[in-house]
Structure 1
Amino acid sequence: MRTVLILLVLIYWAAGKPLEADTRSEKKCGYQSCHKIHRTKLNVHLVPHSHDDVGWLKTVDQYFFGSKTNIQMAGIQYIIGSSIDALRSNPDRRFIQVETAFFWKWWKQQSEQVRDDVRYLVNNGRLEIINGAWSMNDEAATHYHSIIDQFTLGLRTINDTLGECGQPKIGWQIDPFGHSREMASIFSQLGFEGQFFARLDYRDSKLRHNRSELEMVWQGSPSLGKSSNLFTGVLYDFYTTPAYFCWDVLCSDVPINNDEESPDYNELDIVNRFADYVLKGSKYFNTNNLLVTMGGDFTYQAAEMFFNNMDKLIQGFRKFRPDINIIYSTPSCYLKAVNEISKGNGIKYTVKTDDFFPYASKTYSYWTGYFTSRPNSKRFERQGNNILQVTKQLVTFEKLLNGKDYSKNLTLLKEAMGIMQHHDAITGTEKQHVVGDYVRLLEKGIKAAETNVGSIIHDLLSKDGTSGNLKIKLESCLLSNVSYCHPSKADQFTVAVYNPLSRNASHYVRLPVDKTRFQITGSNGDDIPYTIMPAIANFTDFADSSPSDLVFLADDIPPLGLKYFHLKVQHTRDIPKIKEVVQHRLGDEVSGFTIDDVTGLLQTVTLNGVTLKVKQEFMYYHGANGSNLGEENQASGAYIFRPADSTRTAVSFADKVTFTVHSSEFVDEVHQTINSWIKQVIRLYKQENYIEFDWVVGPIDISTNSGTEVISRFTADVDSNGTFYTDSNGRQMLRRVRDYRETYDYTDEEPVSGNYYPITSRITLRDHSRNLEIAVLNDRAQGGSSLHDGQMELMVHRRLLNDDDFGVQEALNEVEFDKGVIARGQHFLTFGPIKSDDSKTSSALQRDLAQKKILNAWVFVGNATGDEFSYENLKEKINFQFSGLRRSLPPNVQILTLEPADDRSILLRLEHVFEEGEDDVLSKPVAVDIADLFTLFNIESIRETTLGANQWLDDNEKLEWDLHEYSDGRASVNYIEESRVGSSLDDFVVTLTPMKIRTFIIYV
């Protein structure tokens, strides 16, 4: 091991050969740099690559610097450095760089000479950036906000460092555990030509191999039609180097000996063996091109070893097998070759319209556990996105108001959020010490982003345009979920509520307090009504946790705007009226719910005057313990969800629960105790059209020496006919049919986990006979299903005692404060008509609620102790309200992004939040005039970019593909044609069709 480490260091720090004659001003990147293919021979595209996880068994820094070799031999700085050296020594070689998080970390440490060399290699196509996002994101647990943000960060960083030739053309999602349709749509909107991946269901893989359908055109969005088409390729033999041909320092395969005088000469034998391998693989593809990945996890730490042998392999084929054209290549060069041959030979491709979930690698191995694993980490990421969108908007306003540029405060949070999207981060499939590091990075990023938030808010509210000597430090109460918020313990404090939505919104502020009497003053000097509710639980691990929640309504907050409140503890005021009552009917005849007076469980729900029988209960599956005796003994673990054989039907924790009812002026609550470690509040805010389920689960009891997987199940009087719907990354809704797959024959060896899907935002059931749709929305990614008609279940927490043997080498047995982790979260139930002429449809209700929860009004609290911070004094200095928009946008339009782009421009994204045909009114195209939309600036000029804001829209062109048609002549893809709008808008009117996101750089 010591020798290997010394070798790596020497290779990394070696000077390397100087580049050939200086032609740095010349550029020959992209398709121009591809090696020539042969139109009649088999073209084998060797793609050298290293798959470098942005955290998994080791932390991000441990991977980059190469420490903790006892865990894994992996050092990213050596991979990038030695690969650059290897490329410089031979102009025929190629290498792809994928994760921008690691590339940027490496780039910052390099001299200007090395940077110039890298730019030269990129400009000549020898080093190609593929994917280009901050990390290779998961596609199940990620939300489209965060996916787009982390691609924007990565792609714009590449632009700034490498220029135009660094712009990626290809998605390279080789390791995520299943693939979403929305991700395909995002790739197409990024302007990518295609994507490649390795993991798909073993039955789907077998069928596609047999039919030579490993390559297809994926329609990312029926609403976007042809413009969302994306060439998609499944790698022939996973993403690693073929067996017997790995010549990396991490491998033990025999290197090529081409000395015919040597007794160990093996060149011909290896060439013939490799020829057999590629000839077999070529049978599964439609053209005479085959992509062969040469690399794998953390390969190329000593790159010359690998490249030297590939050089010899290519030379050997030229000598012994000239019938096969073997070349160094990249995914984009391969795709271009496939397109060229396909168009020239009339080859047509099948169209994919669904997705690739769930992923099963073997009969009993469904990778559906990670949809829920580490629920607190998944929730923290969602909070990180919320505060990132809020602070990006606030920083933009401050820059335009006072010229103060605080955008650098956001860098750490953007980077941490990019890392969190990684397919071993938000998935919960990393070691626990790595989770701790992710939390550290995210918390550090949030604190940095909030550094100047207090002064920004006071500047926006200030009557003279500056906060002056106003020094109230405003901060988020990230621990309010465990009843802790330090500023709200003061006798006098202020609350700023920011609304990041593009329309007016009301928000119920809920703060942990240890007092009961307050005076809350709003913008007009009026007293704001409030109530005090008991906290959901006593969080004994937090010594300062509060016994009560202060609840009040921040009503009608302006779009991209603020409302400010002054709160003062009153020692003589009467306690606000709150009563613990015995009735079992909460709310009223318009919105409310009833509790069964015997079981204490939910009995009915009334919304918008319609009453529906609904039961909600907590249940569990025993996780299979597994063994090493065969795949039928697969354990449930971080990746895999597999109920034990004897308990594949979920078991209820209790047929009867204890409960208390608390009623106030504007919120009614039922507090349920299910057992010693599960509690829940069922809550109705009386101005809302949904029911909230606020739960605390944990520490999960493992005294029976068996893993436990906890679900919340909703059973409604709905005839769903074996069908349910789940979201795709929080955006599109996909139809699911129980025990069925659209593209291959499903087998039901695992009837529970085989029907589990990722729920990033919501799951719904439809009863067409009653024109009714019911939905449950969640506050983080979870796994879920409808295993019986009328049922929806979401997995909320998991604690398992065995590793599932898929690489993490650690049981999913999270511990905090020396005991199992406690998870707290919310579900939101709503229902309404599928179609309606006179009221909001269920889809409209769900879209509205989903937007409010992903872009929740953010609450900042500040200790305002002292007479100088009395309401009267503050009112003289500041307004108590601010709006960033002059008017609310339509309910089907949202400002997805508003942030500084550079010193003189702003990045703006607008999105249509509805799908085609989803709602008769709101699914129509909409035009938005943005000329005078903003209160703090006027737009001078505007230019449209691709989704990642790294390329002008007019500069993006894509290859065309011929597609199969059905036997009746119907096109196999929805050909909704969108008029291509130029990248400049003279009239500043933006037209949005359903599901369309448009990205602009605006100059003010």
Structure 2
Amino acid sequence: MKLSRQFTVFGSAVFCVVIFSLYLMLDRGHFDHPKSPRREGTFPKGQLSILQEKIDHLERLLAENNEIISNIRDSVINLSESVKDGQKIPEAINFSQGSVSEIIPSASVLFAVDSEDCLFASKSGSHGSGVQMLDVYDILPFDNPDGGVWKQGFDITYNENEWDSEPLQVFVVPHSHNDPGWLKTFDDYFRDQTQHILNNMVIKLLEDNRRKFMWSEISYFSKWWDVIDSQKKDAVKRLIKDGQFEIVTGGWVMPDEASPHYFALIDQLIEGHQWLEKNLGVKPKSGWAIDPFGHSPTMAYLLKRTGFSNMLIQRVHYSVKKHFATQKTLEFFWRQNWDLGSSTDILCHMMPFYSYDVPHTCGPDPKICCQFDFKRLPGGRVSCPWRVPPEAIHAGNVQHRAWMILDQYRKKSKLFRTKVLLAPLGDDFRYAESSEWDQQFQNYQKLFDYMNSHPEWHVKAQFGTLSDYFEALRKASNLGEKSSNSFFPVLSGDFFTYADRDHHYWSGYFTSRPFYKRLDRVLESYLRAAEILYSLALVQSSKSEKMSVFPSVDNYKLLTEARRNLGLFQHHDAITGTAKDWVVVDYGTRLFHSIMNLKKVIIDSAHILILKDKVAYNYDTSTPFLKMDDVQSSQDSLPRKTVIKLTSQPRYLLIYNPTEQERFSVVSVNVNSPTVKVLSPSGKPVTVQISAVWDGATTISHEAYQISFVAHLPPLGLGVYQLLDVQSSEAVLTDYNIYMRNSRQEKPDRLFKIKEMQNSVDNIILENSYMKLWFSGMSGLLEKINTKEDGKNHQMKVEFAWYGTTSNRDKSGAYLFLPDGDAKPYIFTDPPTIRVAHGRIFSEVVCFFHHVTHTMRLYKVQGLEDQSLEVSNIVDIRGEYNRELAMRISSDINSQNRFYTDLNGYQIQPRLTMSKLPLQANIYPMTTMAYIQDVGVRLTLHSAQSLGVASLKNGQLEVIMDRRLMQDDNRGLGQGVQDNKITANIFRLLLERRHGTDVVGFTVWIFLTN
């Protein structure tokens, strides 16, 4: 199957494949822009230089994003002069087919493609790595014997003369991990802790040039930078220049790596790096990811393409860590699956022990390492759980204490291939108090001074940054900054699903708080659309003094705020759904406000683009030229359609295609009259299907009607459609059959043909030119598909199921999935109400269960849209107790316990369901798609939101849609997940034929969804 087909079929449900429908507010007279003092307006004096600066800044941003938008801009500049006049009526609007597409013809937009980005296409099919994670998972027993002081490992021994010829180099790396929201909101954390950490950092590093510190979260750093004085800013720049202070990764946040789409991962990285370049003039060198719950090769690839040479990860399954420690493969080159060379290699350090806190970073014995966390000195607010406290270092104990920690350093170094050792020194929100800086730095310096003054110990210990460590590591292994060699192994694959102990697999967060996982993707789509339209509008506004009133500066600020709010939500306690309830509300409010602001940017930008006579442009904030076709009332509510009021005079529907592909898509809007006529941008009538708008399962609203038609839009195109209320409409009405337990013969509807009947064992059938579907007459759920091209029937049974949680002490929570066994079937006492719609453009079956309203829609249009099923589940489990709702698709595909999931919407990772692992270990993250296949058929579930997915039995796909859990799972959150919302989960189900490919042969490929 061609890649373009994979994501084109998905349409609006995959990431940015969104069609934005707007409609003009006013009648034709408003389009003419009567000249009034209120509308005239001028661009404020003194702002032109600011505008130019912002434009230059935007151009740098777009150039870094593969120069896509800059190429579009160039095309606009070169071609817009040749745009022909559109239709004469109404005067103000260009109705030419495609509108903006005339400015940007698809055949003329060419983008530069780096040859390295095409390796997956030219050389796919096998692996060039020495360690393949699928093989590692296959050979590991996943047992958990007691390893002694290193509970999840083994006893480590060494000979004291091992370092005689080459001393051990120890880099103690002070750091503070600052979550941009978790137990407190982002702003509360900044006020209470983060600003004090950074303020103390400047003071304490300046006291001694041997001290080092590093930082990763630019969201916090930029907020702090805005409130400090120039003297402190200069001090920070000196510390960076002198190598005492380092920025690592430099993203807006330290993102989760399971749920985010690659668009958002790149965007938050760009936002952070641009801020650093502008304010500090620095570019990070190394990645630092100590807290994301599992790691994706997509992130490794993005860091490599950003120019990084090194990275560090921490949260990996404890059995994998133990295996890598025994093989001394904790440091490796991480290579992409498709890369047969080494161009994607990035040197990766995997921390070997349980956590990134001090007890688990100096060596294998946490009881000893905790004694060297000097914040835990007696009298403080934190202590060591092993009940042996640290001792302040003085002349009387320095020899003994130095030997104790050197013993740990040596044992830890035995897990690696060089005599260069990394020992992080930090934890969550550490160094907020001045006293901790003194406790840690003064005591460690005494230990270093003693160790370094005894050459017979063969050790050199010092404070360092991550770059200090990697530079020494590369030197010790004769490894250049950009090169790789055989000294370190090469690894391909990912590190999901993470477990930190026992059978505690962190697969619950793949689904936790799914409402906001969906809202995240909605914001992404609006952001991409707004940025493209804004850049095009900037070009137009620069052509005339009259158009200089275009609010470019204000809208650029809204775009920046939206990027930062989206970036903030990629944090590993935000999109994961693992924050306190009020913190989740704070995240949701930020997403919601940015969506509202981006709608304004889209409206303002589209306004200037669709006007035929640009000179007539006037901007008036009090009277928007356009309105969006949906309204979301709050951060935790589902959007609802605006009702467009029709008259005999045309209303104008502006439809925008933000993708780089030509689109033939079904567009649905609500109007106030069923006698409607729709005209295309060329003025020709289009076929319209009129459907009822329902108040519940069986009651029709006569205040609104849904009209659906096929819109044809070129790449990145705008099209204006006309809607008119006419005396006699040629639109085709939808017919309905309603299946109920007790059919009641109500009086006929005055417009729609509705037939009521009792639930039946007879099947419900929908079909189009591509497929025929059979649904159960009792449940309304899909049972079978016939593909007409080959005449084959395929079992395709959709059902719902419940998971409970274990009766053991440790139960499921926001992070963990600890089920009480296999899922139990979703049992309904009474058959659900089933509403079947038959129409010219689409037909659908809607099933009304107590906890979910399930819709399966089949389109009847030519093209790719009719080859898949649109699936919508409106889920409401707010009244449940420790239950998780899943949708399961059972087929006759012989998948042989193998399935495939995407990673971050960027690449596909093969999976193997392993019987040696518990059920929860076989759940994996799905950002945009998962599929099963055999030699003849592939079944793909495309998803418009990130969720957990599995294939627990042959021929099955299962997705967990929502979870309600009443208790904490002892991972620090301190609460369950009980703030469930009515949530829309949207999917596309695609069944395809395959030709001559063995199901066992794993072909790993990348796809780009836009």
Which residue of 1 is the match for residue 412 of structure 2? 281
1:288-319 CA-partner distances (Å, limit 9, x unpaired): 01111100100011253232333223223234
Of 380, 392, 399 in structure 1, the residue corresponding to residue 519 of structure 2 is 380
Alignment check: 8 A CA contact 2:181 2:583 kept:
yes
How far 1:529 sits from its partner (Å)? 3.2
AA of the residue aligned to 1:361? D
Of 932, 936, 950 in structure 2, the residue corresponding to residue 765 of structure 1 is 932
AA of the residue aligned to 1:805? N
State the alpha-carbon separation in 1 of the partners of residues 895 and 835 from structure 2. Answer: 33
Of 428, 442, 465 in structure 2, the residue corresponding to residue 308 of structure 1 is 442
Q: 1:497 to 1:43 in 2, by over 3 A?
A: same
Q: Percent identity at matched positions?
A: 28
State the alpha-carbon separation in 2 of the partners of residues 761 and 545 from structure 1. Answer: 35
How far 1:597 sits from its partner (Å)? 3.3
Greater helix fraction, Structure 1 or Structure 2 = 2
State the alpha-carbon separation in 1 of the partners of residues 210 and 697 from structure 2. Answer: 62
Alignment check: 8 A CA contact 1:86 1:307 kept:
no
Alignment check: 8 A CA contact 1:785 1:793 kept:
yes
Which residue of 2 is the match for residue 58 of structure 1? 184
AA of the residue aligned to 2:397? N
Structure 1 residues 464-473 or 726-735, which shifts more? 464-473
The reply on whether 1:349 has 2:488 as its aligned counterpart is: yes
State the alpha-carbon separation in 2 of the partners of residues 519 and 342 from structure 1. Answer: 73
Q: 1:593 to 1:223 in 2, by over 3 A?
A: farther
State the alpha-carbon separation in 2 of the partners of residues 525 and 84 from structure 1. Answer: 66
Alignment check: 8 A CA contact 2:358 2:426 kept:
yes
Q: 1:997 to 1:222 in 2, by over 3 A?
A: farther
Matches within 5 A, 1:877-892: none
State the alpha-carbon separation in 1 of the partners of residues 345 and 617 from structure 2. Answer: 54
TM-score, normalisation: structure 1? 0.72
The reply on whether 1:563 has 2:722 as its aligned counterpart is: no
1:259-291 CA-partner distances (Å, limit 9, x unpaired): 44xxxx533332122112111111111100111
Which residue of 1 is the match for residue 371 of structure 2? 244
Structure 1 residues 315-324 or 450-459, which shifts more? 315-324
How far 1:665 sits from its partner (Å)? 1.1
Q: 1:129 to 1:701 in 2, by over 3 A?
A: same
Q: 1:420 to 1:250 in 2, by over 3 A?
A: farther
Of 823, 828, 834 in structure 1, the residue corresponding to residue 994 of structure 2 is 834
State the alpha-carbon separation in 1 of the partners of residues 266 and 561 from structure 2. Answer: 17
Alignment check: 8 A CA contact 2:802 2:823 kept:
yes
Which gives a bigger RCO, structure 1 or 2 (Cα 8 Å, sep 6+)?
2
Q: Secondary structure at the match of 1:281?
A: helix
Q: 1:274 to 1:607 in 2, by over 3 A?
A: same
Q: 1:466 to 1:179 in 2, by over 3 A?
A: farther
AA of the residue aligned to 2:682? N
AA of the residue aligned to 1:609? E
The reply on whether 1:125 has 2:274 as its aligned counterpart is: no
The reply on whether 1:179 has 2:268 as its aligned counterpart is: no
Structure 1 runs not aligned, ≥5 long = 1-36, 67-74, 628-632, 741-746, 816-820, 843-914, 924-993, 999-1004
How far 1:344 sits from its partner (Å)? 7.6
Q: 1:604 to 1:620 in 2, by over 3 A?
A: closer
Which residue of 1 is the match for residue 541 of structure 2? 402
Q: 1:997 to 1:152 in 2, by over 3 A?
A: farther
Alignment check: 8 A CA contact 1:376 1:823 kept:
yes
Which residue of 2 is the match for residue 431 of structure 1? 580
How far 1:539 sits from its partner (Å)? 11
How far 1:661 sits from its partner (Å)? 1.2
1:891-926 CA-partner distances (Å, limit 9, x unpaired): xxxxxxxxxxxxxxxxxxxxxxxx9977xxxx9xxx
The reply on whether 1:731 has 2:847 as its aligned counterpart is: no
1:580-632 CA-partner distances (Å, limit 9, x unpaired): 148822123423422133553212224562444243434333332555xxxxx
Question: How many residue pairs were aligned?
Answer: 771
Of 583, 606, 610 in structure 2, the residue corresponding to residue 461 of structure 1 is 610
Q: 1:810 to 1:527 in 2, by over 3 A?
A: same
State the alpha-carbon separation in 1 of the partners of residues 328 and 342 from structure 2. Answer: 23
Q: Secondary structure at the match of 1:585?
A: strand
What's the C-alpha RMSD, in Å, of the aligned pairs? 3.2
Which residue of 1 is the match for residue 870 of structure 2? 692
Alignment check: 8 A CA contact 1:691 1:830 kept:
yes
The reply on whether 1:623 has 2:740 as its aligned counterpart is: no
Alignment check: 8 A CA contact 2:905 2:1007 kept:
no
How far 1:469 sits from its partner (Å)? 4.8
AA of the residue aligned to 1:340? K
How far 1:546 sits from its partner (Å)? 9.6
State the alpha-carbon separation in 2 of the partners of residues 244 and 307 from structure 1. Answer: 15
How far 1:995 sits from its partner (Å)? 6.9
AA of the residue aligned to 2:803? H
The reply on whether 1:707 has 2:882 as its aligned counterpart is: yes
Q: 1:55 to 1:452 in 2, by over 3 A?
A: same
Alignment check: 8 A CA contact 1:219 1:229 kept:
yes
1:543-564 CA-partner distances (Å, limit 9, x unpaired): x999866242352211111112
AA of the residue aligned to 1:697? V
1:378-424 CA-partner distances (Å, limit 9, x unpaired): 00000010001001101110111213534222011000000011000
Matches within 5 A, 1:448-487: 448-466=597-615, 468-469=617-618, 471-475=624-628, 477=630, 479=632, 482=638, 484-486=640-642
Which residue of 2 is the match for residue 149 of structure 1? 267
The reply on whether 1:530 has 2:688 as its aligned counterpart is: yes
Alignment check: 8 A CA contact 2:358 2:427 kept:
yes
Alignment check: 8 A CA contact 2:690 2:734 kept:
yes
Alignment check: 8 A CA contact 1:482 1:539 kept:
no
Of 779, 794, 814 in structure 2, the residue corresponding to residue 638 of structure 1 is 814
AA of the residue aligned to 1:715? S
Matches within 5 A, 1:307-326: 307-319=441-453, 322-326=457-461
How far 1:183 sits from its partner (Å)? 1.6
Alignment check: 8 A CA contact 1:425 1:438 kept:
yes
How far 1:349 sits from its partner (Å)? 1.8
AA of the residue aligned to 2:451? F
Of 973, 976, 997 in structure 2, the residue corresponding to residue 811 of structure 1 is 976
Structure 2 runs not aligned, ≥5 long = 1-162, 360-369, 543-549, 738-754, 756-762
State the alpha-carbon separation in 2 of the partners of residues 570 and 308 from structure 1. Answer: 84
Of 579, 582, 588 in structure 1, the residue corresponding to residue 768 of structure 2 is 588
Matches within 5 A, 1:596-995: 596-607=776-787, 609-610=789-790, 611-624=792-805, 633-644=809-820, 647-654=821-828, 657-673=832-848, 675-687=849-861, 688=865, 689-702=867-880, 706-739=881-914, 747-748=916-917, 750=918, 752-768=919-935, 770=936, 772-815=937-980, 821-835=981-995
Which residue of 1 is the match for residue 81 of structure 2? none
Of 47, 50, 74 in structure 1, the residue corresponding to residue 173 of structure 2 is 47
AA of the residue aligned to 1:381? D
Alignment check: 8 A CA contact 2:643 2:670 kept:
no
Q: Secondary structure at the match of 2:933?
A: strand
Which residue of 2 is the match for residue 969 of structure 1? none
Alignment check: 8 A CA contact 1:722 1:737 kept:
yes
How far 1:162 sits from its partner (Å)? 0.9
State the alpha-carbon separation in 1 of the partners of residues 986 and 1007 from structure 2. Answer: 27
Alignment check: 8 A CA contact 2:691 2:733 kept:
no
Alignment check: 8 A CA contact 1:413 1:449 kept:
yes
Q: 1:717 to 1:258 in 2, by over 3 A?
A: closer
State the alpha-carbon separation in 2 of the partners of residues 553 and 442 from structure 1. Answer: 31
Which residue of 1 is the match for residue 679 of structure 2? 521
1:946-977 CA-partner distances (Å, limit 9, x unpaired): xxxxxxxxxxxxxxxxxxxxxxxxxxxxxxxx
Q: 1:224 to 1:408 in 2, by over 3 A?
A: farther
How far 1:512 sits from its partner (Å)? 4.8
How far 1:61 sits from its partner (Å)? 0.3
State the alpha-carbon separation in 1 of the partners of residues 340 and 242 from structure 2. Answer: 35
How far 1:364 sits from its partner (Å)? 1.9
